[in-house]
């Protein structure tokens, strides 16, 4: 459902209209700013990137996010939204400053908190009355407490407190997600002081009010669990390839179990984007800091690294040594519906293939990668021209409509690796293409006879094992 067709969401109002400031106008901040204005708040949005600021002031949205442009235009016009590069102007009269700046990973994998420290200090310096800094950015547990100490020297006699209110939106659906949250998590110490932050949102929205460390950990744990699900699906897909089973059917059957659910349970090129890889490595870094092993998170990371390695190996076994081989990549955005290429599997694969000596060409309907000058084409068939292999790495709906016979004519070879499962296997074969996938398509390393589980039957007697009595929740 698009926002425009959802008048119920648009008619929602905050429990208590407030003057607030949003610092950082990226995917999270700009979406929050326009949606908070829609809820009835007066919002000062602060952005320091001159290009982004200019665009937003002119009513242009510098990110690909459906619904943001309409709300931006509406609230620049209504006067409920102001955009500035001056924190003092943004914070003036505000009782809340939402920190929505980036927390990118360092080379070690832990999050770089310099943007948030800088923004918090600037907001505290500009505060004229009690200000609550609400941390929407994803930060490790303990960060809100550390920020409160950090800003203490800046705030003079003015009271500045820090609350956690992590953001769960998905890129490409950010406005929809803002108005239809599964939950609003608010972390405050002491928990009784949550009222101001809670009242920023409509009273009917589900909420979790807890202490700050717990709120910060909800976000890390949720994203780590999603990553674990994706990696588990890829582990099953690898097993499907070895057994000759079909990962789509297997995971569909698994996901229909209401205790498990189908979301994030598809085989593919692994998880990417600006959040999951960073938040899983952040989870691991936090765990390391307190000598906790974080075995599941580490396993999810290891399986994810293997996803790209596995695709390279698959392409190589299909076309032979990669040096000098042309490979056309379809999809550079980390997922369909966004122009974001941060940690995208497509880009990761391009880098790995180039390192192996392959020559890469690519297409994406939205994403532009400055590091690939001259190698990116506006048309998927041009990207495929002269390629020995084509690899589909983002599940753009347009790729489902590809004319496969034309694709075959453009290519020099016939190998298609559909890493995201958007193409029809039978149609690929009918077009004269060799179809490989993740857990589907032509099996590589398939074991025709699986003897292990059958050994007892072949030998006549079942092996005796310990008696198993009913476990707690198994099925
Ligand atoms: N992108 C997502 O899907 C998503 C979802 C949930 C949570 N998050 C988290 O939210 C945070 C922001 O993510 P994003 O994707 O919006 O980042 P982003 O990089 O798109 O946007 C951050 C913006 O903050 C601006 N900025 C930095 N310092 C500033 C300052 N001192 N004053 C004003 N502006 C400043 C930057 O110029 C940039 O425009 C991160 O912690 C991220 O992990 C992101």
Delineate the domains of the chain, giving CATH numbers in brackets: 3-210 (3.40.50.720), 223-437 (3.40.50.720)
Residue 333 clears pLDDT 70, i.e. is over it: yes
Backbone angle region of 374, left / alpha / beta, with phi > 0 → left and psi within -120 to 50 → alpha: left
Q: Which of 148, 111, 152, 166 is nearest to 289 (CA)?
A: 111
Strands 160-164 and 326-330: unpaired
Task: State the average pLDDT for the chain.
Answer: 92
Q: What angle do CA 126, 129, 134 make, to 5 degrees?
A: 70
Pocket test for ligand 1, best of 167, 176, 341 (most atoms within 8 A of CB): 167
Residue 190 clears pLDDT 90, i.e. is over it: no
What per-residue confidence (pLDDT) applies to 471? 47
The separation between the first and the last C-alpha atoms of the chain, rounded to the nearest angstrom, is: 36
Q: Cα(2) to centroid of ligand 1, in Å?
A: 24
Q: Which of 171, 174, 87, 183 is nearest to 133 (CA)?
A: 87
Q: Cα(332) to centroid of ligand 1, in Å?
A: 21
Q: Cα(165) to centroid of ligand 1, in Å?
A: 14
> Whose Cα sits closest to atom 25 in ligand 1?
24
435/99 Cα distance (integer angstroms): 47
**Is 100 marked active-site?**
no
What per-residue confidence (pLDDT) applies to 246? 93
198/184 Cα distance (integer angstroms): 8
User: For 192, which DSSP code?
Assistant: G
What per-residue confidence (pLDDT) applies to 320? 96
Please list, in sequence order, all residues whose beta carbon lies within 8 angstroms of the beta carbon of residue 429, skipping any fewer than 6 positions away.
435
Residue 329 structure tokens: 């990549």
Question: Which backbone phi and psi does 96 adopt, to 5 degrees?
Answer: -135, 135
Per-residue pLDDT of 450-460, as tens digits, reads 666 667 666 66
- For 214, the 3-state DSSP assignment is helix
Please list, in sequence order, all residues whose beta carbon lies within 8 angstroms of the beta carbon of residue 3, skipping any fewer than 6 positions away.
9, 10, 66, 67, 70, 71, 175, 176, 179
Q: Which of 408, 403, 405, 332 is nearest to 365 (CA)?
A: 332
The percent of residues in the chain predicted with pLDDT above 90, rounded, is 81
Q: Which of 169, 227, 163, 215 is nearest to 33 (CA)?
A: 169
What per-residue confidence (pLDDT) applies to 45? 98
Q: Cα(26) to centroid of ligand 1, in Å?
A: 5
What per-residue confidence (pLDDT) applies to 281? 95
Atom of ligand 1 nearest to the CA of 278: 43
Which residues form the pocket of ligand 1, taking CB atoms under 6 Å from any ligand atom? 23-29, 46-49, 52, 100-103, 115, 118-119, 122, 137-138, 167, 169, 171, 274-275
Residue 184 clears pLDDT 90, i.e. is over it: yes
Cut 0.95: pTM above it: no
> Whose Cα sits closest to atom 20 in ligand 1?
26
- In the block, which residue shows the tokens 């929050």? 32
What per-residue confidence (pLDDT) applies to 4? 47
Q: Cα(64) to centroid of ligand 1, in Å?
A: 14
What average pLDDT score do residues 223-232 get?
98
Catalytic pick among 45, 144, 240, 275: 275
What average pLDDT score do residues 92-99 get?
96
> Whose Cα sits closest to atom 43 in ligand 1?
138
């Amino acid at each position: 459902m698009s926002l425009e067709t959802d008048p119920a969401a648009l008619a929602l109002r905050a429990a208590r209209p407030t003057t607030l400031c949003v610092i950082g106008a990226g995917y999270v901040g700009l979406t929050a700013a326009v949606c908070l204005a829609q809820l009835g708040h007066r919002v000062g949005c602060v952005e320091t990137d001159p290009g982004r600021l200019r665009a937003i002031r002119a009513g242009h949205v510098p990110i690909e996010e459906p619904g943001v442009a309409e709300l931006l235009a509406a609230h620049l016009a209504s006067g409920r939204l102001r955009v500035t590069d001056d924190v003092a102007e943004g914070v003036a009269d505000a009782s809340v400053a939402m920190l929505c700046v980036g927390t990118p990973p360092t080379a070690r994998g832990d999050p770089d908190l310099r943007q948030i420290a800088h923004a918090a200090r600037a907001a505290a310096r500009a505060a004229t009355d009690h200000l609550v800094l609400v941390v929407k950015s994803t930060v490790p547990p303990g960060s809100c407490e550390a920020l409160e100490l950090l800003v203490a020297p800046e705030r003079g006699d003015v009271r500045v407190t820090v609350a956690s209110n992590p953001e769960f939106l998905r890129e490409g659906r950010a406005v929809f997600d803002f108005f239809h949250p599964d939950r609003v998590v608010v972390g405050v110490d002491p928990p009784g002081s949550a009222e101001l932050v809670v009242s920023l949102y409509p009273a009917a929205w589900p909420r979790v009010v807890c202490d700050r460390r717990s709120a910060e950990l909800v976000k890390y744990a949720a994203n780590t669990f999603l990553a674990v699900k994706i990696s588990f699906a890829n582990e099953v897909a690898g097993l499907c390839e070895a057994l000759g089973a079909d990962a789509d059917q297997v995971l569909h059957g698994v996901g229909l179990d209401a205790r498990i659910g189908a979301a994030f349970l598809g085989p593919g090129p692994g998880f990417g984007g600006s959040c999951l890889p960073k938040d899983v490595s952040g989870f691991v870094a936090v765990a390391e800091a307190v000598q906790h092993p974080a075995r599941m998170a580490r396993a999810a990371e290891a399986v994810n690294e293997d996803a790209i390695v596995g695709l390279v190996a698959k392409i190589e076994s299909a076309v032979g040594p990669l040096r000098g081989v042309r490979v056309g990549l379809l999809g550079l955005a980390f997922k369909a519906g966004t122009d974001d290429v941060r940690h995208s599997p497509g880009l990761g694969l391009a880098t790995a293939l180039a390192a192996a000596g392959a020559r890469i060409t690519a297409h994406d309907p939205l994403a532009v990668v400055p590091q690939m000058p001259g190698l990116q084409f506006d048309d998927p068939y041009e990207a495929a021209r002269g390629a020995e292999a084509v690899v589909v790495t983002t599940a753009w709906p347009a790729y489902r409509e590809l004319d496969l016979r034309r694709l075959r004519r453009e290519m020099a070879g016939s190998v298609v690796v559909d890493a995201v499962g958007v193409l029809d296997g039978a149609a690929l074969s009918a077009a004269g293409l060799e179809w490989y996938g993740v857990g589907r398509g032509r099996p590589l390393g398939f074991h025709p006879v699986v003897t292990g589980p059958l050994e007892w039957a072949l030998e006549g007697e079942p092996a005796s094992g310990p008696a198993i009595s009913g476990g707690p929740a198994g099925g």
